[in-house]
A and B are shown apart, each in its own frame.
Chain A
Amino acid sequence: MTRHYTQEHEWIEVEGDQATVGITDYAQGQLGDITFVELPALGASLSKGASASVVDSVKAASDVYSPVGGTVSEVNPALEDQPELVNSDAEGEGWLWRMTLADSAELAGLMDDAAYRAFVDSL
């Protein structure tokens, strides 16, 4: 399994043509208390960079963009009652959706863990 990151603070973990997407721990820290997550529809076709989900914090609503193109195969059912999982475990139990990749070549432009840490440190 390989985990990639975007400059918009999403993470995507890939295994074969399946991937899990969430927002980074840095992102949840910046957003503060998360009160609602709007998830994409099962079967929805997402294109790379398209708004796929909305994370509502006490302060503001923020779009989450799909790191790559693909089809939504699962959404995190726990977030309906416990959106705060995105705060407590953004890069684990607070995952947002799973998808079948359309084109794994789209992963090429994403950051690896070290590059993302360096990117965050530069902010």
Chain B
Amino acid sequence: MVKIEASTALVLDDTGTLSVTELVEQSGLTEEELQALVDCGALEPRDAAGRSWKFSARCVVTARTARRLRDDFALDDTHALAVVLRFMQRIEALERELRRRG
């Protein structure tokens, strides 16, 4: 049997950095939606004052969750989306904590 070549997985944490274009491509959100999520604090660019934003790779997870929630619940209000996203993140953190405690 042919051995399949292994591909290296990139961890979506604070070590990697990506541009707005890359974040748009990887999240499926539009640049306007990203902008709105930054405006309401759901996404934080590395250097908010800089001319072109850079995001940590962790933001891919947040932005993709936002995209999924937007699509799954047919949300069309970005502020509401940011609130739902925040709740989602809290639930995930609590579920992790529960699992950790066994």
Check if A and B associate. Answer: no
- A interface residue numbers (CB < 8 A to B): none
Interface residues of B (CB under 8 A from A): none
